[in-house]
Amino acid sequence: MDYIIKNGTIVNEGILTKCDLFIHDGRLVEDANTLRKPQLFSAEGCYVLPGVIDTHVHFRDPGFPAKADFSTESRAALAGGVTSVIDMPNTNPQTTTLADLEDKEQIAAQKSVVNYGFMLGATNDNISQLLDIDPLRYAAIKLFLGSSTGNMLVNKPDTLDRLFGESKKLIVAHCEDESIIQANLRNYKMEFAGKEGENASLHPKIRSREACFVSTYKAVERARKYGTRLHIAHVSTATELSLFSNKPLEEKNVTAEVTPNHLWFDDRDYAELGNKIKCNPAIKTNDDRMALWGGLADGLIDTIGTDHAPHTLEEKNRPYFDAPGGIPSIQHSLQMMMEGFFNPGVCERDDHDEVLQEWLPLIVYKMCHNPAILFGIENRGFIRPGYYADLAIIEPGETAVTREKLIYKCGWSPLEGQTLHTRMRQVFLNGMPTEQSTAMPLKFIK
């Protein structure tokens, strides 16, 4: 089926343009004359963006069916304008071999309603196997330099030197210094475990600013030593920004990601939300949050990924020390970014439409263009002739975040009770509206 998307405001490559888009056999084309009996879709009053590419998700499949699976979480992604995802390796079994990767590909092919790719996980013992796998088969190598859900900590210096020295793939690193975390954890457990003071406000003290900076510094230094392509996941502190450059993306070996949650919440929110915003690395101070917004605007931070990481409410309602870290967020991530500029301290202007139009190109760069460039994703992330027609069509209007409207299998969100001021009109995936679309595996070209 061919389509004409009429009268939308196209946001692409830094420019807003009101024009029509033409879709033929799943791809964007320049000439309407190539279309066969096209259906018309009105985007009047809407912004038309490339579909979001979320390069950091934990869909928990296989191994954690009570938390999530590819069916539920990909449907939540699509509802939020996310058309492609890259899933993390800390599942059960962990995705650390080619056989594990092939098993996950089969799961996604059966269940996913968005395009999909995967990272392979590094361990202290699998570097030889990783380096032997065709680098075009997967998105990147995920390296845990701090323990998190599904512990895959890599802490042997010789192993890290070999990985950084020989990897042909982008390395995506979770950076928190384990020795600092464990020392803080011992101290606070002795002081607070089982007592009234045991609550989530301890989290940024245990998984501290120091733990993040020390680990990120070591990873960046190792990458510079070996000339490795390194992407720091979910940056959470102002101090880490000093380690990054605002050169054009194509000129960087070291790049950085931020999550909507680290831009939206700060440590004042633990009092109300508690473990619901417990994540690794921890959400920190408002000063850190403001610095991250600045780093996003200044080009120090290159991509936005959700780190969508669902857990059940039963798990989250445990005492702080026993509750897992992770936040479900993919269903509203694009709307959070479109809303977030109007949080106190980010932008004090009240001309909402003009501010949104100024910031929308930045959102598209960080959520669509840059992920495609950085991870070498073929023919996606831009609105260009010949590219797949992955599109998010979003309009002004209220979206009430209620539990009844959440698609996540875990069934909750820290945003519940809030009202967002944009809503999805339609999402196109591989050239088709969502109710008719079919997902595809992502193809990597570097």
Q: At what angle do helices 209-226 and 178-192 cross, to 10 degrees?
A: 170
User: CA 269, CA 273: separation in Å to the nearest integer?
Assistant: 6
The residue among 8 and 339 whose pLDDT is bigger is: 8
State the chain's mean pLDDT as an integer: 95
User: CA 331, CA 308: separation in Å to the nearest integer?
Assistant: 9
CB 333 within 8 A of CB 52: yes
Confidence of residue 243 (pLDDT cuts 50, 70, 90): very high
CB 359 within 8 A of CB 263: no
User: CA 158, CA 164: separation in Å to the nearest integer?
Assistant: 10
Return the bridge partners of 71, or none.
none
Cα 154 to chain centroid, rounded: 22
Residue 295 has, within 13 A of its CA and on its CB side, a CA count of: 30
Checking DSSP bridges between strand 432-433 and strand 419-429, what pairing results, if any? antiparallel
The pLDDT score that the predictor gives to residue 401 is 97
Q: What is the CA radius of gyration of the chain?
A: 21
Six token digits for residue 87? 């899933």
Six token digits for residue 306? 């959700």
The pLDDT score that the predictor gives to residue 193 is 81
The pLDDT score that the predictor gives to residue 377 is 98
The pLDDT score that the predictor gives to residue 136 is 97
Six token digits for residue 419? 């009202």
The pLDDT score that the predictor gives to residue 344 is 60
The percentage of the chain sitting over the pLDDT mark of 90, rounded to a whole number, equals 91
Over range 332-336, report the average pLDDT.
97
DSSP summary character for residue 51: P
Six token digits for residue 71? 């069916």
The predicted-structure confidence for 15-31, as pLDDT tens digits, reads as follows 999 999 999 999 999 99
The predicted-structure confidence for 68-100, as pLDDT tens digits, reads as follows 999 999 999 999 999 999 999 999 999 999 999
Return the bridge partners of 119, or none.
140
Domain ranges in the chain with CATH number 3.20.20.140: 52-376+397-422
The predicted-structure confidence for 133-188, as pLDDT tens digits, reads as follows 999 999 999 999 977 666 689 999 999 999 999 999 999 999 999 999 999 999 99
The pLDDT score that the predictor gives to residue 347 is 66
Tally the residues of the chain.
446
CATH for the 52-376+397-422 domain, from 3.40.50.1000, 3.40.50.2300, 3.20.20.140, 3.40.190.10: 3.20.20.140
Peptide linkage before 93 cis (omega within 30 of 0) = yes
Peptide linkage before 281 cis (omega within 30 of 0) = yes
The predicted-structure confidence for 42-75, as pLDDT tens digits, reads as follows 999 999 999 999 999 999 999 999 999 999 999 9
